[in-house]
Structure 1
């Protein structure tokens, strides 16, 4: 956990996906367009949130003044059933 990134145990449940949705920045207190893990671009705090919920205000967690106030999706939660 030294590098401050989302962690996972089993690689079989994680895929790499290139999509412009991962590049978008979302303002605090706006609706999350997808369920997943979002990371504060200013300080690195991560939150899990469901699609349609409001992203938290930046000052809802310890945040250094003067850093960027935005959230970026780093993990997309796929709600489609998987039959293996």
Structure 2
């Protein structure tokens, strides 16, 4: 699970960008931390870079397919 120390650096969001899974080898829609929804591994990745492939790690049949979901967005245009 992603963790943080200073809450001043994060803000909540209701964006639907956090509601969609992306498959292996697809381009990350936004820069940030992505979580595998089957096994809960997390990765940091730049926008547009390919998410890890199927061979990155293995799942049990109970975990299902590898699918990545954005959990923390790195905003490059702060207000």
Q: What is the TM-score of this pair, normalised by structure 1?
A: 0.84
Q: CA deviation at 1:28?
A: 0.4
Paired residue secondary structure (2:34): strand
Paired residue secondary structure (1:37): strand
Relative contact order (alpha carbons < 8 A, sep ≥ 6): 1 or 2 greater?
A: 2
In structure 2, relative to structure 1, the CA distance for the partners of 1:12 and 1:50 (3 Å cut) is same
| 4+ residue segments displaced more than 6 Å | none
Cα deviation code 1:4-48 (max 9, x no counterpart): x10001000010001111001100000001000000001000000
1:1-84 → structure 2 map (5 Å cutoff): 5-61=1-57, 63-66=58-61, 67-82=64-79
Q: CA deviation at 1:56?
A: 0.2
The count of residues paired between Structure 1 and Structure 2 equals 77
Q: Which runs of no fewer than 5 residues in structure 1 stay unpaired?
A: none
